[in-house]
Amino acid sequence: MGKLSWRIWLLITALLLSLLAISPSFESGVLIKSIEKNSTAFESGLRSGQIIKSINGQKIESIEDFSKALEGFPTKEKTKLIIQTKEQEYILFTNNTPKITVDKIPLTKIKLGLDLSGGSRALVKPEIKLSSNEINDLIAVTSERLNVYGLTDIIIRPVSDLAGNNYMLVEIAGATPSELKELISKQGKFEAKIGNKTVFVGGKKDITSVCRNDASCSGIESCFSVQGGHACRFRFVIYLSEEAAKKHAEITKSLGVNITDPRYLDRKLNLYLDDKLVDSLFISKDLKGREATQISIQGSGIGKTRQEALENAKQNMHKLQTILITGSLPYKLEIVKLDTISPLLGEKFLYSIFLAGLSAIFAVAFIVFVRYRKIKVSLALLFTSFSEVLIILGIASFIHWNLDLPSIAGILAVIGTGVDQQIVILDESRTKKLSIKERLKRALFIIISAYFTSLVSLLPLWWAGAGLLKGFAVTTIIGITSAVLITRPAFADIIKRIEE
C-alpha cells in the first residue's frame, strides 16, 4: 500500500486537534451558572463557572442532589454550610437558601446557542441611528445593567443589516421573554449618594468627563499580597459640573473623619443603578466642604494570583468608568424581535437534526456503494463526512462559537456540498482517458472553483437579517474552507490508493 501521503497525515492531525479542542468531559458534580451579587455565596468567593462536588459532605452528582442538599433552607437561625468545589472549600453562615443557579456539567467544550440551550433573545433597536462606537458604548452600559441584576449567562453583541442599521442582540439563558423585556425596556437611572442625599447622577448633566486610557489620571496604582491571595488598587479621575461640585461641598461639610482610617470621611459615596447598590467609595478628607470639580475614584481587585488580581482590578475600573460616563442607558430602546425557546425543545431539535444528518450520510453511502460496487469507497465517503463535522465542531469549540440552529443548518449544508464534491472526485477518478493523477487534479480544480463561488455568496449572509443568519455563514465558511484545504485533498488521495 505504501506510506500515507502528507494530505492524509494532515487530516489525521486536524482530527486529533479537533478532539483536543472539544475535550470530552466525564466529570461529576454540578456547574454554577450564576450567583446573585452581594449574596452570602458571592461574598464567600463562589463564582459562576465553578463545579460543586459536595455540600456538607453530601456528594453532588446531579441537579437533584444539589436541591436535596439545600432542602432544609430557609432556617430560623444561621446555619453552617460547607460547599466543596473542584478547586477549594467554601464555608457559608446563612439562614437563607443560597442564591445559586446550577446546571449539568457540559459533556464537551462545544457551546450551544440559545436555540438549543433555552432562554430568550431580543433584537434591540435604538430610537436613533447609531455608529459602531456608539452601539459598543450602549452594549457596555447594557451589560453592566444586566450584571447588576445577577444575570451572568448573557451574550450581548452588535449586529447590523444590509441597510447599515446597527442593532444590539441580547441573549439570556433561562430568562422568560417578559423578564428580558422588563430588563431592556427600562432606560434606568444612576445616582451617587452620601447617606440619603444625592450628590450627582450619571451622564453629562453632572459628570463632564471621566479619565480613561490616560496613565496620568487613570490606571493601576499598586499590587500587594493579602490573606489568601493578592490585591491590586486602581485610581482614576472624574470631573464634575459646577452644580454637582456645589452639592458635594454642601453635603460633605457636615461629615466627620473616619475613626478607623483618618484619611477618609466617615461616610462613603454610594453608587446606585436602578436603586440597586453597585459600589461604595471612600471620600478623601481633603474634599470635606470643598467645591471640587475633580474627584479621584479608587478601588481594588483581588485574586489568587497577582495576574488575576491585576485583571480583576482592570475590569472593576472599567466597570466604574462605564457607569460614571453614562449611568443609565443613553438611548430609548425598541425591541424589534423577541424569541424564546425551552431547553427541552432545544434538546429535541438537536436530537432530530442529529438523526436526520446521520440518516442522510448513511443513505448516500449506500447509494454510492450501489453505484460503484466498492465498500471501501463508501467507507471513505463516510469517514470524510464525519471528519468534516468533527473539524467544524473542533474549530467552533476553539473560537468559542455558540452553535445555534442556523449553525447546525450550516453544518448540514457542508455535509451536502461535501458529498456532491466527493462524487465529483469519484466520477473523475474513473475517467480512463487520463492518468489517475491528472483526473484527480481536474476534480480538485472543479471543487476549488465551486468553493470560491460559495464563499462569495455566503459573505452577504454575515450581515443579512441583522446578523441572525451569521451562524449559518460562519459554520458553512469554516466547513467548506477546511474541506478544500484538508478533507477533499485527503479524500482524493484515499480514492487514488483504492483505484490503484
How many angstroms separate the CA atoms of 482 and 11, rounded? Answer: 10
**C-alpha cell at position 329:** 442607558
Is 0.85 surpassed by the pTM of this model? Answer: no
Helix (H, G, I), strand (E, B) or coil at 260: coil
Burial class (CB in 10 A: 0-12, 13-18, 19+), 101: middle
Phi, psi (5° rounding) for residue 466? Answer: 55, 40
Q: Where are the domains of the chain?
A: 6-24+345-499, 30-104, 119-187+332-339, 191-312
**C-alpha cell at position 362:** 448513511
Q: What is the largest CA-CA distance in the chain?
A: 99
Amino acid present at 339 = D
CA within 13 Å, CB half, 327: 19
* pLDDT of res. 391: 92
pLDDT in tens, 355-405: 877 887 788 788 878 877 888 888 888 898 889 889 999 998 888 787 877
Q: Find the helix or strand (DSSP H, E) in which 361 lies.
A: helix 343-372
Phi, psi (5° rounding) for residue 221? Answer: -80, -50
Which residues are CB-neighbours of 392 under 8 A, at least 6 positions away?
411, 414, 475, 478, 479, 482
How many angstroms separate the CA atoms of 313 and 301, rounded? Answer: 4
Instruction: Give the architecture (CATH level 2) of 6-24+345-499.
Output: Up-down Bundle (1.20)
How many angstroms separate the CA atoms of 113 and 407, rounded? Answer: 9
Q: Shortest CA distance to 15 belongs to which of 382, 358, 394? A: 394
Measure Cα distances from 282 to 217, 276, 317, 433 in Å. 18, 18, 15, 86
Phi, psi (5° rounding) for residue 441? Answer: -60, -40
Question: DSSP strand E in 106-181: where?
Answer: 111-112, 119-126, 154-160, 166-172
Fold exhibited by the domain 119-187+332-339: Alpha-Beta Plaits (3.30.70)
Q: What is the CATH number of domain 30-104?
A: 2.30.42.10
Q: Are 7 and 383 in contact (CB under 8 A)?
A: no
β partners of residue 30: 52, 104
* pLDDT of res. 371: 79
Domain 30-104 and domain 119-187+332-339, same fold? Reply is no
* pLDDT of res. 327: 59
Task: Pick out the chain residues at pLDDT < 70.
Answer: 1-2, 36-38, 114-115, 118, 144-153, 173-180, 182-189, 203-204, 273-274, 319, 322-323, 325-330, 341-347, 349-350, 431-434, 436, 463-468, 500
